[in-house]
Structure 1
């Protein structure tokens, strides 16, 4: 049995499951300060019997294994969470194989094991919620250099006459600062869930998200791109607009012309739906178990 923790900006989910993706238990707690939040999660884990633990967390995370801060949250706009250690306290408390990754890489790994990315060596999971995160898998491995990817903070060309300053405290009008849940509420005067499906504000959202997708495609050409998170969870009608806009942005260029013709199956919601995130923590825990040779 694998225990998984998905730490999000709004809520945290603890799950208990098996290697075939069968979830046996699931509990949710609000994300408040780290002391209360982690204590609540430990209270759940203390009741479960498990063989390994996977942590899929919002970031930024320190994932350099030689760093003394490995397994900690680094500088984040989430109040009180900067510098919070996640791995040492759980490893000490439970003495089980443990692995940590970003929440979006976790979701991508879950899609690869049980979802719509099965059999694919390159694919991508994007979450749009409290923040914007991009988890890119290439050659069957998470893409990571000196630090993990922060493609949700890339800057993109703005729509004509769009003067919104952006909501990101670090970059202003990066993608997260333009289309995350809090950015939408600030930009359009009401939260995403209050916008009707035919609200013209979604055209601005699609413009900015398409720019992110264009950059991912011309950089890595993932075999599939899944977009999840709270903003997109109930807005599947936007995928049609995104496919049309992305194909137009690719513009029939070279080897990507055929890619643009295949967007109906290359770009869509996660196969696991809203379970991709929690299942990602299970996928990470399975990696810890495999590494331990058990």
Structure 2
């Protein structure tokens, strides 16, 4: 068995799979305090504990990914105050000392899509998740794009829409992309959850403008072969098309890019991207 933990800001998704990457069982529960949430994690994996060969773990961040760091495996300066400086990998190793791949939750998703989904056979795959938070990750020729730390694309600054006077939700930067376009920002701005808004609500033009800026910035900085837009917010009917229109307007024919229907897409693996990415990373780690 291989194990997956997708540690999201709103919920944890835990799963086990076999060597064929078939998901045997998967559960989810709310992200609360570390003690309460990790107790749920351990309780789920207890039944498979003797069979698990490795874990793939993707967490909300920022996280410390430097293996020679004293705080490797920690969640660091997150807006979720209960989790600041939480030793995630330390807690997991006390539970079960097996190999563990440690990365961000969006990196888990981009790995799944690059290896098994919309990005198969492409050199450079970029994934944005637009959900409770807003994050991004990319893979170039099989390796994550990172250096001293992992990317925090969701905290890049964006140009404000002319019809938007919202101050921004991010406690660190205010009107960064996460502060303007994440699920919590939408709810804070409008007083309702994103999924309750009709697809014809005028706000979606504003949302598409911010997402399109992120795709534009990634296009100029990284020149990916494909940009995959996942997360709960992207399930709104028609939003993807609005993003493509806004992106074309912002780009203004400055660069040649692939056909937009092939360049800006939804995840092929849908909600399984992070789980399958984690299971594949765990399998690869266990067989090294």
Q: Give the TM-score taking structure 2 as reference length.
A: 0.95
Q: In structure 2, what is the equivalent of residue 35 of structure 1?
A: 35
Equivalences for residues 143-222 of structure 1 within 5 A: 143-222=145-224
Is 1:284 matched up with 2:286? Answer: no
> Retained in 2: the 8 A contact 1:56–1:284?
no
Distance in structure 2 (CA, Å) of the matches to 1:128 and 1:276: 14
Distance in structure 2 (CA, Å) of the matches to 1:240 and 1:184: 19
Distance in structure 1 (CA, Å) of the matches to 2:115 and 2:20: 9
Task: Name the count of aligned residue pairs.
Answer: 286
Aligned-residue offset at 1:89: 2.3
Q: Partner of 1:47: helix, strand, or coil?
A: helix
Aligned-residue offset at 1:162: 2.2
Aligned-residue offset at 1:202: 0.4
> Retained in 2: the 8 A contact 1:72–1:84?
yes
Structure 1 portions without partners, runs of 5+: none
Distance in structure 2 (CA, Å) of the matches to 1:109 and 1:236: 25
Is 1:95 matched up with 2:97? Answer: yes
Distance in structure 2 (CA, Å) of the matches to 1:237 and 1:161: 20
Equivalences for residues 230-245 of structure 1 within 5 A: 230-232=232-234, 234-245=235-246
Distance in structure 2 (CA, Å) of the matches to 1:69 and 1:133: 22
Q: Partner of 2:278: helix, strand, or coil?
A: helix
Q: In structure 1, what is the equivalent of residue 24 of structure 2?
A: 24
**RMSD of aligned Cα (Å):** 1.3
Q: 1:266 aligns with which of 263, 268, 275?
A: 263
Q: Partner of 1:216: helix, strand, or coil?
A: helix
Is 1:2 matched up with 2:2? Answer: yes
Structure 2 portions without partners, runs of 5+: none
Runs of 4+ in structure 1 over 3 Å off: none
Q: 2:114 aligns with which of 78, 101, 112?
A: 112
- 1:209-250: CA deviations, max 9, x gaps? 111111001111211111111111x22421111112212222
Q: 1:266 to 1:78 in 2, by over 3 A?
A: same
> Retained in 1: the 8 A contact 2:226–2:262?
yes
Q: Give the TM-score taking structure 1 as reference length.
A: 0.93
Is 1:246 matched up with 2:247? Answer: yes
Aligned-residue offset at 1:140: 2.1
Is 1:69 matched up with 2:66? Answer: no
